[in-house]
Structure 1
């Protein structure tokens, strides 16, 4: 399932001496146990494999763990960098680093914290490209996406890319939390039509949320109620003749429980969502918890492969094409909603 270039890169990484690999220390296990430390894990792993002179240092890491200390850490780092923002050193997808991050950071988080599991493995196809469509929720860092990427990589050795909101790449807050370019290096694809199209044309296995940001921002009251599906993934599936693999995640609604979206503040700060919940006091005291999520059991149910075709009478006009695509998108939504309803009743 992986192209020759990616295989060569991955094989070379496997052959590197084990002494050069990142291993979990007692401090890393402490960070995994202590929610404000999750951001430290991401940055420490990046700094192990990349030269990052603008990255966080040990004094600043310690401040992450103290109530309100993250604000002081940002100020100290800003002064250390000469009153400027961090520079971007790397900005290209690196399947080698994706695999290392998956094995060394995601593995303990997904297996021991989120307890991620795949079901109905017989529905996994042996061909690519594939458009993996999943119900995305949680109003938090996209742990349901990252966990699925890890599990599919472990099961099949797949290299996946994920379509992600633009704010995850270059929002003013993100470049201070995570290394600039971090999302791109790990396989993030900007939620823009040209990048979406290019990724599928490159024989990619692409993970996509058909609800868009409507899914994670809908809030706790609408949990497990799928929002309207976009038509773009159906249209690209039809145009490029790429099958769709539906995946249903149960447990992602509990990643940030009892939350509701503050729409006005969300738009003001140009964020994909801004949750209000009992956990918000902890986030205010420890902003580094922005990449953390509540403990949940993430279960993924692989559905049969879907193929989309234009009917003959749909080829006469763009209006008919879009109408047909819309109908197919909502038909898939109804099918996935029915399956979700059955699963949550068990």
Structure 2
């Protein structure tokens, strides 16, 4: 973006996608520093590369920055669109846009805010495809997943596609927060068995949370205590001869600390989780902070490939289940050891 005057910095012409790389203006750096502005960064970057006539405008972005202003911005956008919600679009994965978003938006967040680090990288295999299985936590926007995908792409040049909860694709609130098809365009794979299997069949590198939503849902009082593992990743690993690389993340439990999940309200609003914490007052005043998280240091410890899982046999579900829980116990032991040393 050019720096020719205040209006040029804030106003975005969404009619013609730009082919030039996105450059941070002072306003973008301010948004990076000011938590309610992270959602602005996501949308401004999207509008730089995609025509989005239904997207937010500069006046609504300014309202994001004020206490309670997001609600006025949402009303303004609803009126501007003729009393309707933004159009839903089903986009396809765009590797080039994923790379642009990674290099231009994620890089400063991962480097300066989450201080992401890969440890024990000698355990990363040289070949693809892979299922990268990680302890997912934090009860927040999936920054532990996003940061690991970024670090793996920087280290190995891989295109990593996270298996993402359905709410990031389908929830009514998401179409107001994020651009149309944003999660899918950036490489997200819907957390449905058919979609997961399709990604494995296409020999992709899939980032996966074996605990499912039970991981982030467990809350602060059970931090770093792994929940029961699902078995689908073991079954697909065996069926398609795809190695599993376990990764342990230390620091992700602090993305939204001191939380308890309000299960009844979570179910009522059809959300993956609804955290109760001291941060909730800020989130009510600044709903755009839904993509923000507390500053923490995310460290990822790559474990050796689980070779014993890949033996080409069709196993009974009970045997696969036992293998999944054995892997969970092994990862839990490593988590306990790492927490005592880092």
* TM-score normalized by the length of structure 2: 0.93
Whether the aligned pair in 1 keeps the contact of 2:242 and 2:310 (CA below 8 Å) is no
Q: 2:317 pairs with 300, 322, 330, which one?
A: 322
Matched, 1:340 2:335: yes
For structure 1, the 5+ residue unaligned runs are 1-17
User: Which secondary structure does the structure 2 equivalent of 1:20 belong to?
Assistant: coil
User: Which secondary structure does the structure 1 equivalent of 2:47 belong to?
Assistant: helix
Q: Provide the C-alpha distance between the structure 1 equivalents of 2:192 and 2:324, rounded to a whole number of angstroms.
A: 19
Q: Provide the C-alpha distance between the structure 1 equivalents of 2:85 and 2:312, rounded to a whole number of angstroms.
A: 52
Task: Indicate the residue corresponding to 1:251 in structure 2.
Answer: 251
Task: Indicate the residue corresponding to 1:83 in structure 2.
Answer: 83
Whether the aligned pair in 2 keeps the contact of 1:310 and 1:321 (CA below 8 Å) is no
Whether the aligned pair in 2 keeps the contact of 1:250 and 1:299 (CA below 8 Å) is yes
Q: How far 1:84 sits from its partner (Å)?
A: 1.1
Q: How does 1:181-192 map to 2 (within 5 A)?
A: 181-192=181-192
Whether the aligned pair in 2 keeps the contact of 1:170 and 1:180 (CA below 8 Å) is no
Q: Provide the C-alpha distance between the structure 1 equivalents of 2:31 and 2:63, rounded to a whole number of angstroms.
A: 13
Q: Provide the C-alpha distance between the structure 2 equivalents of 1:311 and 1:97, rounded to a whole number of angstroms.
A: 36
Q: How far 1:85 sits from its partner (Å)?
A: 1.3
Whether the aligned pair in 2 keeps the contact of 1:219 and 1:259 (CA below 8 Å) is yes
User: Which secondary structure does the structure 1 equivalent of 2:301 belong to?
Assistant: strand
Q: How does 1:14-163 map to 2 (within 5 A)?
A: 20-89=20-89, 91-163=91-163
Q: Provide the C-alpha distance between the structure 2 equivalents of 1:177 and 1:285, rounded to a whole number of angstroms.
A: 15
Relative distance call for 1:19 and 1:186 in structure 2 (3 A) is closer
User: Which secondary structure does the structure 1 equivalent of 2:316 belong to?
Assistant: helix
Q: How far 1:170 sits from its partner (Å)?
A: 1.4
The number of equivalent residue pairs is: 323
Q: How far 1:206 sits from its partner (Å)?
A: 0.2
Q: How far 1:309 sits from its partner (Å)?
A: 4.0
Q: Provide the C-alpha distance between the structure 2 equivalents of 1:240 and 1:80, rounded to a whole number of angstroms.
A: 49
Q: How does 1:212-251 map to 2 (within 5 A)?
A: 212-251=212-251
Task: Indicate the residue corresponding to 1:291 in structure 2.
Answer: 291
For structure 2, the 5+ residue unaligned runs are 1-17
User: Which secondary structure does the structure 1 equivalent of 2:125 belong to?
Assistant: coil
Deviations, residues 237-272 of structure 1 (Å, cap 9, x unaligned):
111111100000000000000000000000000000
* TM-score normalized by the length of structure 1: 0.91
Relative distance call for 1:311 and 1:52 in structure 2 (3 A) is closer
User: Which secondary structure does the structure 2 equivalent of 1:301 belong to?
Assistant: strand
Q: Provide the C-alpha distance between the structure 2 equivalents of 1:197 and 1:112, rounded to a whole number of angstroms.
A: 35
